Amino acid sequence: MSARPDVATATTVAETVAAVETVTAESADPCCAAPLPVLGRDVTVPLVTGGEVTYAALDYAASAPALQRVWDDVAAYAPYYGSVHRGAGYLSQLSTDLFENSRVTVAEFLDCRPGDQVVFTRSTTDSLNLLAATLPAGCEVFVFETEHHASLLPWRDARVTYLNAPRTPEQAVATLERALADRDPYGPALVCVTGASNVTGELWPVKELAAAAHAHGARIVLDAAQLAPHHPVSVQELDVDWIAFSGHKLYAPFGSGVLAGRADWLQDSEPYLAGGGASRKVARRADGGVDVEWHTTAARHEAGSPNVIGVYAIASACKALTEAGFDSLVERERHLIARVREGLAEVPEVRVLSLFGDDAPRVGVISFVVEGWNSSHFAAALSAEYGIGVRDGLFCAHPLVRTLLGSDPQDPGECGAPEAAPGERSLNAIRVSFGAGTPDEHVERFVGAVKELVRDGAQWKYRTEDGRCVPDRG
């Protein structure tokens, strides 16, 4: 077996790229049943009651910590950073190769079809806004009210049909089928659906929804922001037309995202951003104007200098998760989910939010409310007194959380802001989320803290400051 190229001795761009890409791969454990090493796993935080504790990061659904493997890969590449597609120098050529190799890695991770394009963006939100800009004339968009705002809001220039929250996967499919069949005029249509809810963690019947969409002449885009970090995602098996996801939820928080899928709508639309990189040829006309020939590849929608570090980080995360093995990652996460749900079920004052019921398959995202507690107060106490980071609010999915809480659409409440004093009812919830880097101790500490807070109350006084519930240090 030939030796792997060494960064220090590589003599060609190809050898250096190979060396950078494998510098940390040799330490990867393909059968890892323990938590994957993540950056910040040893960080300690002060407690308002005194002392310090290792921080329990249980807000993966907002942003997951970087995998140590990703950080190491980025650090190995950083000295070789150069402009992409824009230079004759060695570092520019190396960075270009790394960027385009990352595109191939992501396509393999998603099991894309031949001919699909992988476009690098800033985030899931950016990806879906890009797709919204490519909709053909007269296209109608169908989206459930249960979606994250990234999926709910980008379709401002299209006719949008918002579908009510279903209470079973079967109802979701039936609701979509009726809406698509009844559309008038019966023209182009796009369905946007999440793979896993960012509020309840429940898995959606993506393959069945894709079949329903295609049966009625529509296309479908999958918001995989909460699915891809937890489960394998296959464009071909699910038969979706596009997939969008973010690096910062895939253990690669360096400002990049992905839109992958069919090329035709992307090629037929104007570039998402106009500028260098998207254009193949620009020439002055005799009348003084400018003619532009745009790229037909993914570069068409990647104007400007690309975020090569963010893109490489996503590719590194894709490789790390694949090498770790999703079977073992999923099995371990099921264990953590069961432990959290069992622990919360032992507290009568806790109500877990759910669309599809207790038996629905899910990822490591669980939202709940506690009787007698303002959710922001409870979350603040978990942080200040136990060193546990969760999220409170409406999770950028306002219609869904309001539906699950049974509130009137006009009732006040906003993401992250306590709308009631500590102890009063609040129109927001608490979300705990975890993943491949979560140790058992963090989950056990969380369950114990919930029980203790409900039983004994907070040890500290809290007040509202700038819309947040914080410890009163006065």
Decide: 346 and 51 in contact? Cβ < 8 Å.
Answer: no
Give the span between the Cα atoms of 355 and 169, in whole angstroms: 9
Among residues 139, 318, 396, 469, which one is catalytic?
396
Asked if 192 is an active-site residue, the reply is no
The CA-atom distances, in angstroms, between 276 and each of 100, 267, 281, 298 are: 17, 17, 10, 13
Going by C-beta distance under 8 Å and a sequence separation of 6 or more, which residues neighbour residue 48? Answer: 384, 385, 460, 471, 473
Maximum pairwise Cα distance, the chain: 80
Please report, as a single letter, which amino acid is at residue 229. Answer: P
Phi and psi at 467, nearest 5°, equal 80, 5
Using DSSP's 3-state secondary structure scheme, residue 242 falls into strand
Question: How many angstroms separate the Cα of 466 from the Cα of each of 127, 295, 310, 379?
Answer: 31, 47, 32, 16
Ramachandran assignment for 128, one of left (phi > 0), alpha (psi -120 to 50 degrees), beta (any other): alpha
**Torsional sign, CA 165, 170, 176, 179:** negative
Query: Would you please indicate which residues are annotated as catalytic (active-site) residues?
Result: 396
